[in-house]
Amino acid sequence: MSSIQPGVKHVFATSDRLENLPPYTLAKVFQDRDAKVRQGVDVIDLGVGNPDMRPPQHAIDTLKAALDDTAVENHRYPSFAGLPEFRAAVASFYKTRFGVAVDPATEALALVGSKEGIAKFMSAHLNPGDTLLLATPCYPAYLGASALTQARVVEVPQLAKNGFLPDLSAIATDDARRAKIISVNFPNNPTGGVETPEFYNDLLRFAREYDLFVLSDIAYCDLSMDPSYRARSFLEFDRDKERTVEFHSFSKSYSMQGWRVGMAAGNAEAMAHLLKIKSNTDFGVFMAIQRAAIAVLSGPQDYCARVSAIYRARRDAFLAGVKPLGYPVETPRATLYVWLPIPRRFGSSMDFTRELLDKTGVVVAPGSGFGKAGEGYVRIALCVPEERLNEACRRMAEAGFRY
Ligand SMILES: Cc1ncc(COP(=O)(O)O)c(C=O)c1O
């Protein structure tokens, strides 16, 4: 309850914002997982998208050099927006990778991980009751961040039958008219779905028609399990940055998830709003980490191809294990996930997840945690070696987890 009795002070009464937060589905799964580990079960954790690769050597070398530098500069408070060199590196990354011009002074920001930026972007632009169009299933932080703003979330399902692209024509006109923002993420966590140029053109047309702002998230743009696929930025379509902010991360492309560094690029006015929130609530990214991130962005990009090949081999191992069990699973072209449909005999993705953990010690993420459209699936994170994926499939077969 947000208050115990109207008008009566209660010190620990929570805010309406907090009360509006949905339960964190994965937290429950992690509790069950930890209980199994305590019981001595050999748990195979395919639940978390937590890369298990060592970051690029030049990131580590640059961080070490920055720490060894006897000047105190790196240890001082960073600027809220990020070092000018960091923002310049973001701009040259966008130029080289996507052919998009970004003004480092006004159109690029350093973030303490993109999760931070996404949540603050939402709180900078959404009032309670405002409408947000959210393509789901989605990264669960979107559900949490939008709930904290108390906005009205209209989920736009991205389903297998539509190639895992949101069906814009299914959005009620009234919802489109009322909405302020539409949020998309390609390549997509959790489905592994990828954008098409046609979809991005339609999205821009739709956003212009209904005067919407586009929040685009390209956290997985350089994890291509299919070498013939090369992800695009939405800024290649909204080149004037008329209505887009795009978030990107060092966590997946460079396995630097513990370092907490990300970036935003896009519309200057929206960036200024995000910066205003940031300057009141955080102090930017440790400068030694920004220097390592600059080295990564400006250095050779072969790391991404190498880790993508590892994820591809893991994907193939997992699919080779579950397809003979009858699972009608799509082959994801990017990300580090497999989006696995569950057998109909299970009441829900949570039931499947619980029973699987109980009988096999394999942890997966129930689809319901990714939004309503996620029910009927579980997400497999390919963050364990191939042998463990083979072992997970072997246990599923042995315990009768056929489709
Ligand atoms: C789609 C998507 N966006 C953003 C993030 C957050 O990344 P970061 O570590 O930069 O906060 C994740 C993390 O899993 C993600 O899947």
Assigned domain for 282 exists: yes
Tell the residue nearest (CA) to atom 3 of ligand 1.
219
**Nearest-atom index, ligand 1, CA of 117:** 11
| DSSP code of residue 15 | P
pTM, rounded to two decimals: 0.96
What is the CA(4)–ligand 1 centre distance, in A?
A: 36
Q: Please tell me the predicted confidence (pLDDT) of residue 100.
A: 98
What is the CA(366)–ligand 1 centre distance, in A?
A: 18
What is the spatial distance between Cα 206 and Cα 156, in angstroms, rounded to a whole number? 13
CATH of residue 377: 3.90.1150.10
What is the spatial distance between Cα 286 and Cα 178, in angstroms, rounded to a whole number? 39
Contacting residues for 18 by C-beta, under 8 A, at least 6 apart: 2, 148
Domain stop point among 261, 283, 298:
298
**Nearest-atom index, ligand 1, CA of 249:** 10
**Nearest-atom index, ligand 1, CA of 138:** 1
Q: Do 190 and 292 reside in the same domain of the chain?
A: yes
Assigned domain for 11 exists: no
What are 377's strand-pairing partners? 341
What tens digit of pLDDT does each residue of 179-238 get? 999 999 999 999 999 999 999 999 999 999 999 999 999 999 999 999 999 999 999 999
Long-range contacts (CB closer than 8 Å, 24 or more residues apart) made by 201-209: 201/237, 202/168, 203/168, 203/234, 203/237, 204/234, 204/237, 204/238, 206/168, 206/176, 206/182, 207/182, 207/238, 207/243, 208/242, 208/243, 209/176
What is the spatial distance between Cα 138 and Cα 377, in angstroms, rounded to a whole number? 13
Q: Do 32 and 126 reside in the same domain of the chain?
A: no
Pair type for strands 213-217 and 165-166: unpaired
Q: Do 247 and 263 reside in the same domain of the chain?
A: yes
What is the CA(254)–ligand 1 centre distance, in A?
A: 12
pLDDT above 70 (res 1): no
Q: Please tell me the predicted confidence (pLDDT) of residue 294.
A: 98
**Nearest-atom index, ligand 1, CA of 188:** 1
Pair type for strands 152-159 and 165-166: antiparallel
Give me the number of domains the chain comprises.
2
Q: What residue numbers bound the domain in which 25 lies?
A: 16-54+303-398
The CA-based dihedral angle spanning residues 195, 198, 203, 209, taken in that order and rounded to the nearest 10 degrees = 180
H or E stretch covering 146:
helix 140-149
Assigned domain for 206 exists: yes
What is the CA(26)–ligand 1 centre distance, in A?
A: 15
Q: Do 348 and 228 reside in the same domain of the chain?
A: no
Q: Do 238 and 366 reside in the same domain of the chain?
A: no
Pair type for strands 152-159 and 179-185: unpaired
What tens digit of pLDDT does each residue of 337-367 get? 999 999 999 999 999 999 999 999 999 999 9
Q: Do 278 and 376 reside in the same domain of the chain?
A: no
Q: Do 359 and 237 reside in the same domain of the chain?
A: no
Q: Which of 215, 251, 337 to mutate to test the pocket of ligand 1 (most atoms within 8 A of CB)?
A: 251
What is the CA(345)–ligand 1 centre distance, in A?
A: 32
Q: Which of 252, 335, 337, 370 to mutate to test the pocket of ligand 1 (most atoms within 8 A of CB)?
A: 252
Assigned domain for 117 exists: yes
Domain stop point among 266, 298, 330:
298
Q: Do 203 and 241 reside in the same domain of the chain?
A: yes
CATH of residue 133: 3.40.640.10
Q: Do 202 and 216 reside in the same domain of the chain?
A: yes
Assign 4 a pLDDT band (cuts: 50, 70, 90). low
Assigned domain for 3 exists: no
Helices (H), 49-101: 57-68, 84-98
What is the CA(403)–ligand 1 centre distance, in A?
A: 30
Q: Count CB-CB contacts under 10 A for residue 234.
A: 26
What is the CA(383)–ligand 1 centre distance, in A?
A: 15
What tens digit of pLDDT does each residue of 63-115 get? 999 999 988 999 999 999 999 999 999 999 999 999 999 999 999 999 999 99
Q: Do 78 and 135 reside in the same domain of the chain?
A: yes
Tell the residue nearest (CA) to atom 5 of ligand 1.
115
Residues in contact with ligand 1 by the CB-under-6-Å rule are: 49, 113-115, 139, 185, 189, 217, 219, 249, 251, 257, 262
Determine if the peptide bond prior to 137 is cis (ω within 30°).
Answer: yes
Q: Do 208 and 128 reside in the same domain of the chain?
A: yes
Assigned domain for 62 exists: yes
What is the spatial distance between Cα 359 and Cα 345, in angstroms, rounded to a whole number? 16
What is the CA(113)–ligand 1 centre distance, in A?
A: 7
Q: Do 379 and 340 reside in the same domain of the chain?
A: yes
Domain stop point among 298, 320, 336:
298
DSSP assignment of 317-335, as one string?
Answer: HHHHHHGGGT------SBS
What is the CA(114)–ligand 1 centre distance, in A?
A: 6
Assigned domain for 7 exists: no
